[in-house]
Structure 1
C-alpha cells in the first residue's frame, strides 16, 4: 500500500468524528461554567483554562476522552491543591458526579462527567513568565498557548506521531515509560513540518550520539545548549529546548532505551510502510515460547502487583522491580528477550527468555596477603574443589544448577525485599 494512502486512512481512523467533538465541547463548556461559578464564590478565585490534546485539536479517537482542565491560582497562595479540592467537592456533589483525588507533584483530581468523558483538574500557580514556575505543571499555560498559535494545518501530523508512539509503547513522559510526551511530539512536528520528516530525521542519529533541537532559536549555536543547560537536563538522546523556556529540555525524561526502540520501529516503517505500526499489539506468547524452544532456552512469565496509586506511581514501582529481577537473573543467565507490560492499574506482567550460563566465575580475595588468609581459606572451603588461582587472585567456578523460574522463586521468597520495593504479590509461571 502506498505511504500517502496509509497515512490518509490512518488519520481517518484515529480522528474523532464531528459528533463526538461537538458533544465533548458541549460537556467541557458546561463543566467550565459551573467550575467558574464555584470559584467566584471563594476568596482566592482562580482562572480556568483547558489544556492537553483537546485544547490543541490533537485528540486521538477513543472510547472515553480525558480533558485536562487547569485552575490558575494567584501567586500568594502556595498550598493550592486543598483549595481546589474544596471547590471540586462542592461542585461534584451538586452535579452528582464521582470525584477522585490523585497524587502527583501536586495533588490533582478526576471527575467523571459523562459516559464518554472525564476531566482531570490540575491546580497551578498563575505566573507571568516560565522562569517563575513553582511546579512543572505551572508551565502548561505557556505550552498550550504556544502550540495553539503554531499548530494550524499540522494537527493531523501530530495525530500520526502520537498514534505511532502509542502503538510502539514509547508515548508518555512517565517514569515507567521514559518516552515522548504529547507536548514534545507537537514541538517536533512543528519543527520538522510533518510526521514523516520527523521520523526520517530522528532515525539518522547514530547509537550513542545526541540530537539537539532549538525550535525557539534561543541559542546562536547548538553547542551553546550543552554549556547553558545544567547536566541533569542533558542526559537524553534528544535535547529539545522548550521554545517557551530556554532553560528546559522538553525531552529530558526520554531514555536511550526508549529512543532506540522508537528508531527501530521508525526504520522498519519507512522501509516497509504498513498500518500495523499504528496498532498496539498484545504480546504474542506463542511466538515467545516458540523462540525459547528454538533457542533451547527457558520462557518465564512473571506477574507482579503493588498497592501504590495506579498510574505513574504504581507503574514506576513495577518497572523498577522488573529491572531489579532482570539485573539479578543476568548474573546467571543470558537474557535473550524481555517484554514488560503495564496495565495502567496496580499490576504488570513481564516475560523473559533466558538461557543458563551453565557456569559463572566468582572472584575471591587476593592471594599471598597475610591479613586475608582467613578469608582465602573460607573461600576455598565454600567452593571446595572448584577454585583456581590466576594472576595472584583466587577464583571459583560456580555451576548454575537451577532454572530461571527457580531463581525467580528465590527472589519471591525474599519478602523483605519485595516489601522494600513496594511489591505486594508476585506469581511466576
Structure 2
C-alpha cells in the first residue's frame, strides 16, 4: 500500500531474502520499513494502524512490531536509510541488516551451492543448541553462520576449521563452567580441577597442546596475572593486516567472545560478539563427533533429557535439583537472559560454598516468562572457612565472635561451617529480585 511520510521503501530481509531459510515450527520473516531519518521511524505504529495491521509492540534498540499469522511470525522492523559506502554512519545496528542481505545474496549468486551449505550449518547449530545470538543462548547468529560458511566454502570445511582452530581452545572436557562474577561477560572464568591454562606467546597463533585428560584455554596473562582469553580472528574481506590489528582496532567490549569475525559490510563490527565460551566449546565438541561419524540424527534437535542427569546423580551419589525460574521482563531475549544470569548466579553461590556442580542445564524455549534449571550437585555438608593469620589480633577476635569453635593450623585460625544447599539457594533467591528473576520452586 501507500507509504507514510518519510518512508523510503519496504524490503523483505533475513533468511527469506537471502535464500537461506530453513524449515522450522515457527517461521519468522523480517520486513524492513526504510525511513529517511530517526524521527520518521516513530511513525511506523501509525502506518500499521492505517493499514489495519494489528501488531504487538516489541521493545528492542528501536520498538518494532510482531504480527502472528498461523505458524509465521512477521517482524516489521523500522530502519533508517544508510549510504552503503558509509556503514559507520548507521546509528543502529539494524540499519545495516539490508547490507547483510546484499552481501550474502552476492556470494550465493557466485556459488549456488552455498545456499544449501548454509542451511545445513543452521540446522546443525540449532540441533546442538548453538544457534541464536540471544544472550541466554550465546550462540551464532544466522548472519554469523552465513559469513563463516561462505568464508570457508562449505559446511564441512567450516566444521573442520572449528575443530582445528577451535582446538586451540582444546576443549576435551565439555563441562566448562564459566562464572561471570565480575567485569564484562566471559572476561573471567574459573578453571575447574584438572584444567590447565596454557599461555600463548603469539596472539594470532595459539600454542595448541593435545591432551586427552585436560582441557585448555588459549590466551595470555595480563600484568595482574589474571587470565585473559585471546579470541580466534577471521577477517573475510581482509580489512586489517593481521589478527593483532583486528584486536587493537575493535572496541574491547566486542572482543569478549572466543571468535572474532569482522563484518564484511562494516569493518569495526564483530558479528560473533554474542558467542559465549561454553557454547563454542559445545559446538566444537559436537563438530568433532559429527566429523568422526557423520549421521542425519545429529541434525535433529534433542529436547533436554532429565534421565542423563538422574543417572549421573545416582552414579556420583549427588543431588539432582530441578529449579523453576521466573521473570517479569519482556518474553524472548530479555526474559531468557535475566533467568539465565540468575541461574549462573545460583551456580556461583553453590561453588562459593564448595559444592561441586557436576552438571547444569538451563532450559528456555524463547517464549513466555518461565524457564527451568537442572543441576547435579555433589553436596559437601561441612566446609572449612577462615585462614585468618593468628598474629592479627583484631581480625582473630572478630572471627571468633562469629564462630563458636575455632582451631589453629599452620599459624592460621579456621572454623568449620555446616552447609545446607537449600538454605544457600533460598538466600541467593533473595538477591534475585534485584536481578530481575527469581526461583519459584526447587
TM-score (norm 1): 0.83
Query: 2:406·2:416 contact (CA, 8 Å) conserved in 1?
Result: yes
Alpha-carbon offset, residue 81 of structure 1: 4.3
Alignment of 1:242-321 (within 5 A): 242-321=263-342
CA, structure 1 residues 177+79, in 2 after alignment: closer, same or farther (shift >3 Å)?
farther
Query: 1:300·1:405 contact (CA, 8 Å) conserved in 2?
Result: no
For 2:73 and 2:305, locate their aligned partners in 1 and report how far apart those are by CA, in whole Å.
32
The match for 1:110 among 66, 73, 78 is: 66
Alignment of 1:12-23 (within 5 A): none
For 1:81 and 1:361, locate their aligned partners in 2 and report how far apart those are by CA, in whole Å.
59
Q: Deviations 1:142-173 (Å, cap 9, x if unpaired)? A: 11111111123211111111111111111111
- Is the deviation greater in 359-368 or in 302-311? 359-368
For 1:367 and 1:386, locate their aligned partners in 2 and report how far apart those are by CA, in whole Å.
11
Alpha-carbon offset, residue 409 of structure 1: 3.6
Partner of 2:99: 142
For 1:200 and 1:244, locate their aligned partners in 2 and report how far apart those are by CA, in whole Å.
25
For 2:244 and 2:392, locate their aligned partners in 1 and report how far apart those are by CA, in whole Å.
51
Correspondence 1:386 to 2:413: no
For 1:69 and 1:409, locate their aligned partners in 2 and report how far apart those are by CA, in whole Å.
45
Higher-Rg structure is 1
Partner of 1:399: 418
For 1:287 and 1:384, locate their aligned partners in 2 and report how far apart those are by CA, in whole Å.
42
CA, structure 1 residues 230+425, in 2 after alignment: closer, same or farther (shift >3 Å)?
closer
Aligned residues: 374
CA, structure 1 residues 273+422, in 2 after alignment: closer, same or farther (shift >3 Å)?
same
For 2:436 and 2:89, locate their aligned partners in 1 and report how far apart those are by CA, in whole Å.
35
For 1:227 and 1:73, locate their aligned partners in 2 and report how far apart those are by CA, in whole Å.
34
- Is the deviation greater in 206-215 or in 299-308? 206-215
Partner of 2:14: 52
Aligned alpha-carbon RMSD (Å): 1.8
For 2:126 and 2:422, locate their aligned partners in 1 and report how far apart those are by CA, in whole Å.
31
Partner of 1:422: 436
Give the SS at the match of 2:38. coil
The match for 1:338 among 350, 360, 369 is: 360
Alpha-carbon offset, residue 425 of structure 1: 5.2
Alpha-carbon offset, residue 387 of structure 1: 3.1
For 1:108 and 1:52, locate their aligned partners in 2 and report how far apart those are by CA, in whole Å.
15
Alpha-carbon offset, residue 365 of structure 1: 4.4
For 1:221 and 1:331, locate their aligned partners in 2 and report how far apart those are by CA, in whole Å.
41
Alignment of 1:8-407 (within 5 A): 34=1, 37=2, 39=3, 42-74=4-36, 77-91=37-51, 93=52, 97-112=53-68, 114-128=69-83, 129-151=86-108, 152-204=112-164, 205=166, 206-207=168-169, 208-209=217-218, 210-332=231-353, 333-344=355-366, 345-363=368-386, 365-370=388-393, 372=394, 375-391=395-411, 393-400=412-419, 402=420, 404-407=421-424
Correspondence 1:411 to 2:425: no
For 1:50 and 1:174, locate their aligned partners in 2 and report how far apart those are by CA, in whole Å.
22
Alpha-carbon offset, residue 424 of structure 1: 5.5
Alpha-carbon offset, residue 178 of structure 1: 1.6
CA, structure 1 residues 133+420, in 2 after alignment: closer, same or farther (shift >3 Å)?
same
Query: 2:65·2:77 contact (CA, 8 Å) conserved in 1?
Result: yes
Query: 1:71·1:124 contact (CA, 8 Å) conserved in 2?
Result: yes
For 2:282 and 2:40, locate their aligned partners in 1 and report how far apart those are by CA, in whole Å.
39
Give the SS at the match of 2:308. helix
TM-score (norm 2): 0.80
